[in-house]
Amino acid sequence: MVLALREEVAIAPLVLPPLTPHERIFKEFDAYLRSERGLAPRSIVRHLPVIRRFLHEVCSGGVAALCKINQEDVIRYIERHAQDWSPGTGKAMCWSLRAFIRYLHHRGLNARPLADCVPSIRRWKLATLPTYLPAAQVRKALDGCDRKTVMGRRDYAILLLLAKPGLRADEVATLTLDDIDWRASEILVRAKGRQRARMPIPPDVAAAIVAYLRSGRPKSSCQRLFVRTLAPHIGFASGCAITMIAKAALDRVGIDGCAHRGAHIFQHSLASALLRSGATLSEIGQLLRHENHDTTRIYAKVDIDALRTLSLPWPGGVQ
C-alpha cells in the first residue's frame, strides 16, 4: 500500500537517514570485495562483524582516522581477541582484518602496507574431534519443532535438510523455489566454492517442505524457499540465521554439553552415523560434497570400534 502511494506521488518519498562514517566505510569495502576481489555476498557478510568491531575499538574517528591505524594497533587488537573463540574463529578474524587492511592500502586510505603484520593463527589439521549427536538426540531436536505453528513447520523442514541430505547452513539459506525438481525428486544445491550439485530429496524431507509451502510459507515475491515469518517476508541474509534456528532447536529440547552447537552439528551427526553403519569415507565425502579427502578423514576418529582393531597390544597383555 505504501509503495503504491509513493509511486502515485500521493505521499512523500521515503527519505533514508544519512550513512554514518562507519556505514560509509562498510559500503565501500563491500563494493571493493564484490567488484575487485570477486567474493560472493555470503562471504562478504562474514567480514563485516569483524571490521565493525575493529573500527569501533581502533578507529572511532571515521574515514579521516583510517590513515592513523598502525602496526601496534593491529597487533594489540588481535592479541586481545585471538582467544575469545575457537582457533578456527580466530583464524577467520585474521583473514577479515588482512582483507580490510589490504583494501585501505589499495585505496590510499592508509599509506602503510600493514597486511603482513597480521599474524597467522595455527590450527593443526585433524587435531580435533567432530562434534556429533546420537541418532536419538537428532530425532529429539526434530520432534521439538511445533509443527502446528508456521514457524515450527519452517524450522522442521530446515532441520531435516541439515540432518538428512547433510546440507550446510549457507546452502539451506540460499535455496530457491526453482531449485526443487519435484518430478525428479532432486534439489539443486549451491555448494562451497560456487559449485552446484544435484541431490536426491528423501521422501520425509520432501513432505516437510510441501507442508511448509502449503501451510506455512507467507505470501511473498521473494524466490527464496525459506523466508522470515515476520514482515518483510524475505529470505535470510546468510547462513547465520539457519545456525541460530539449529541452536534454538537444541536449546528447546535441552541438548547441551556440545563443543559446537549449530547447523554443522547435524552434518557431523549424519557423517558419523553413516560411518558406523558401514559407509566408506569416500562415499561420505561424495554425499557431503567435500573437495579434500582430509575433510572426510576426520570422521574416522569417531569410529571407536574400528579404531580398536588397529590398536597395538599394550605391554603386559592389555589392549
pLDDT in tens, 1-33: 545 555 555 555 655 667 677 788 888 888 898
pTM flag (> 0.85): no
Q: Is 21-117 in CATH node 1.10.150? A: yes
Looking at the predicted structure, is the pLDDT value of residue 249 above 90? yes
Looking at the predicted structure, is the pLDDT value of residue 184 above 70? yes
| 185 vs 256 pLDDT, higher one | 185
Instruction: List every span in the chain annotated with CATH 1.10.150.
Output: 21-117
Looking at the predicted structure, is the pLDDT value of residue 57 above 90? no
**What is the C-alpha to C-alpha distance for residues 50 and 9, in angstroms, rounded to an integer?**
41
**What is the C-alpha to C-alpha distance for residues 40 and 52, in angstroms, rounded to an integer?**
19
Residue 197 pLDDT: 86
Instruction: List every span in the chain annotated with CATH 1.10.443.10.
Output: 135-305
**What is the C-alpha to C-alpha distance for residues 114 and 154, in angstroms, rounded to an integer?**
45
pLDDT class of 190 with cuts at 50, 70, 90: confident
Report which of 67, 68, 71, 66 is spatially closest to residue 55, judged by C-alpha positions: 66
> How many C-alpha atoms does 156 have within 13 Å on its Cβ side?
27
Residue type present at position 25: I
**What is the C-alpha to C-alpha distance for residues 174 and 179, in angstroms, rounded to an integer?**
10
Share of the chain above pLDDT 70, in %: 85
The pLDDT mean for the chain works out to 83
pLDDT class of 188 with cuts at 50, 70, 90: very high
Distance, first Cα to last Cα, the chain: 74
**What is the C-alpha to C-alpha distance for residues 236 and 240, in angstroms, rounded to an integer?**
8
Q: Is 135-305 in CATH node 1.20.1630.10? A: no
**What is the C-alpha to C-alpha distance for residues 87 and 294, in angstroms, rounded to an integer?**
18
Can you spell out the DSSP letters for 267-316? HHHHHHHHHHTT--HHHHHHHTT-SSHHHHHGGGGG-HHHHHTTPPPPTT
- Confirm if 189 and 171 have CB atoms less than 8 A apart: yes
Looking at the predicted structure, is the pLDDT value of residue 314 above 70? no
Q: Left (φ > 0), alpha (ψ -120 to 50) or beta: where does 86 sit?
A: beta
Q: What is the DSSP letter of 245?
A: H
